A and B are shown apart, each in its own frame.
Chain A
Amino acid sequence: MKKKKDSIGARIKKAIVKDWQLFILIMIPISFVIVFHYIPIYGVQIAFKSFKPSLGIMRSPWIGFDNFKNFFNSWQFSRIIVNTLRLSFYGMLISPLPVILALQINYITNAKYRKAVQMITYAPYFISNVVLVGIINLLLNVRTGPLNNLIYMITGQQTDILGSATAFPHLFTWSGVWKSLGFNAIIYISTLAGVDVELHEAAICDGANLLKRIWHIDIPHVLPTYVLLLILSMRNILQTNFEKVFLMQNSLNIRTSEVISTYVYKVGLVANIPNYGLGTAIGLFNSLVGLILLIIVNRIADKVAGYGFF
């Protein structure tokens, strides 16, 4: 046993002597990774402890799975899981939109107009979440918002969309479309640029019209990319955009807008008596589900597209 250990040690020593410059270089970023990623991973143990700040991480007493049980048994549990999944699935539902936009941009024949459309549709991607939610609030303000006035003109009813729990998932998703549809289309636009022109020419000779050619040539060409991105997005199914959800939350829409990440923040950091252990346990649950999904999804991607992540 001891002999083997020595030999590993000796090997490491030899490697370090040989590549000492490379080791020095890489240890600079790696030390940050160790401090800011691996020490928190070590701290995850408080998910299984009754954490007392005065005792610290090490000396707080172990309590097994109590924090997890508390979470699973709380009345909030099913609600926030459903809310989180609702936003994720809604996101998947609209995932073909960037493909459609890319196809549309691809068939704008006027080069200048195409460029202009691209420029305009990418631009909102650079707007911050704070500003995005600020704009939503201004547009839908019950008294002064032009969108709200438009709805009033059409339906004759004054509705407070910002305070509506049923409207929240739609508002969240479609404002996201507004912000990033153009940007998400970029990858498909460049994929479409790789379609063989001869295929189209041959199809035209055979009398295929534009719709047929899009259906039989363009769509099969972008499909693998689409499927791959969709499958990979599954691993983030419990991850929602904290920054945006949190900003859009208010006491009236909380029924549908409380998701796992915002709940962790509230329970673990801003509550009157922050429950660090419970917050960490929920975070860990979230991470583990993500990890399991990633492994499953990676298998599927490997089978379907022959393109696994590792």
Chain B
Amino acid sequence: MNASRDTPVDSSRRRFLINASVLAGGLALGIRAERSDAAQSTPWAPDTASGRELSAWIEITPEDAVIIRVPTPEIGNGAMTQAAMNVTEELACDWSKVRVEFCSMHRDFMEGGVYNRGFLPFFGGHGTNKDRLAYALQLGASARERLKAAAAQRWGVPVADVTAQDSVITHSASGRTLSYGALAADAASITLDAEPALKPQSEWTFLTKASPAKLHIPPLVRGEAVYGIDVQVPGMVHAALRQCPVHGGKLKSYKPEVVLDMPGVRAVVVVDPAKTRGTPVESQATWGFATNQVQSGVAVIADHYWQAKTALEALPVEWDLGAGVNWKDTAMIYAEGEALLDADEAKVLRESGDVNAVTGGRVVEHTYSTPYCENAMIEPLSGTAIVSAGGAEVWCPTQDMLQAYWVAVDETGLKPETVRMHQTYVGGRFGRSTQGDDVRMVVAVAKEYPGVPVKTIWSREDCFEQGRYRTPIFARYRAQLGEDGYPMAVRSRASFIGTHPIYQLPLGYDDQPYFTSGIIPNVHISRNNYPVSVMNGAYRGPCYNTHAFTVETFIDECAVAAGIDPLAYRLHLMSRWDEAWSDCLRVAAEKIGWGRKLPRGEGLGIAISSWPSAAMRGTGTVVCSAAHVAISRAGAIEVKRVDVAFDCGRVANADAVRSQIEGATLFGMNMTLNEQLTIRDGVTEQRNFDSYPMLRLRDPLPDIHVHFEALSGAERIDIIGEAPVGPIGPAIGNAIFQATGKRLRSTPFRNHDLSWS
């Protein structure tokens, strides 16, 4: 049921009303004339092919601009720029002439998955994924050869006699040159006998060599880059949305008449899971729909957001809070999860040898845990959609374009060929916008006010309340140390707390080389999960970010119990494994000055982990962090310095990787020192940044040193955004133990008294 003060009007009238609110002065205050930035402020691609494309990915204009259309959202990791670099390497074009657009998922559907290449077109950290990289390189090479063939044809010379470089084709014998732009139209119609072979990596001149800055920085720093919340569509109205504060609760009643006469208010609409229409054809969604169902809610639609928000706050709403309200506090939830560590049954993740047959030895047994945390990206959830009977159009800051597209299809029930989706820039997210629950709510609201573009914005309080939080995990480990001090047997179990099974991941837990390489002969690792109403989801390096803390704190405790230096202990335990891990340990330790004498209250710690496939040699990214901390007598933690060594094979853009490691180190540090959400009566207690402390410049931030010496040089160029989030926390915790003798087995560390005298 919807209540409306008036019927939706056509967009031309709305545009007039919006303009009319400005009596004088331009709408374009401070926006300068059109620029030729590499990344346009509204960088969405056309849905249909133009005549001058060399492929769906590449268009070269007569003015020599090289437009590269990419399926990788830009969430801060530089994936959009990276995707363009991949094409550029083989295209041999002038980087300064490259423009990037986000591809159209509508076109992808219509043309049979032309952009959906490699391991899922999702958050694009996988821009250097092997399959996708090869595809992008091939696109570049094939386009280049067509440009060469077009030039050779025009000049009447053998194609073998022409060369391509920096967007120019040259016939060196005659000294003639032609720009790519002058040849593009001809090249578009050329058919090659065979597609060219790719250069070996050793002949690359751009990838792994150059470190260009992210292409969207110029419009970004001028305030012109369009994030999801910035989308402006003619005729657009604004929605403020309220969902049940207890996850899973339902709208019971509301009184729209109380707010319908408030300024600017156009309608009050209800979103309801029962109104999801379902996709009419088989979905190609990356993750499916189980994690993004509509939540019961009510939205106020108004001319401006502030009007919508003000009216929503005045709107009387009653909720059927559901069973979730019975969770009196977080401790009650955690007690249930922790109890599962002792359950009779559990799913066995890994078993080798026979832990039951091992008797004796010194026992090291401890339980570790991490709490609910919120993604807390600075850009709140938002999106814009217009839904009508004949089609839909969506603008959203998704981390996964394919997922968002199919969620929109599923929510509207429209044929995919009538749905269009525009990727905007993405403010952070750190996993929050992979599943598309945000896109679904945006579409669900717009569906209730058809024919008009509706922008829905979650307030910061709503973002905290309606998060899909970091999965809380309890993990217990029990080691029996042999006479040499190393484990004869390790038994471990983890309890995951949450509703969504896809975020009960064991990555970085049972697959650690300690447990897979055979160095510990008897291993038994199992897991349980405890489903609760509070929804969990993806939070940078999901679950891995906990496992790294629990495994690496436990190993450190074993080393201490054995009386063996923690670095030497790890090196021994890695002695049957990929040398890259040991190299990372050695480099990080050397750089931080491992073993040196420090004043009282200071300590060094080290930790290592790998995302996303630790058990497979030569895959993923392994990161070792070494931390130097100082604990004041009052117990304040200062992380003075961090040294990071890593192996992801090779790096495509060294400064992009450095930037990711710096940022991920601070993210992991903040997660470990500060972050914690608590629940009371089923509702998140933290509502905004004033109750959710996060690192700022004025906090004692470490000098972060990123070292490239441990890179193995293997041909893979693996992902870097998640892995460094893991080891920094346990490295700090292990250093705190060295400094104070206090062992921290739960986060956030700010909950612990570290004072000493």
The answer to whether A and B interact is no
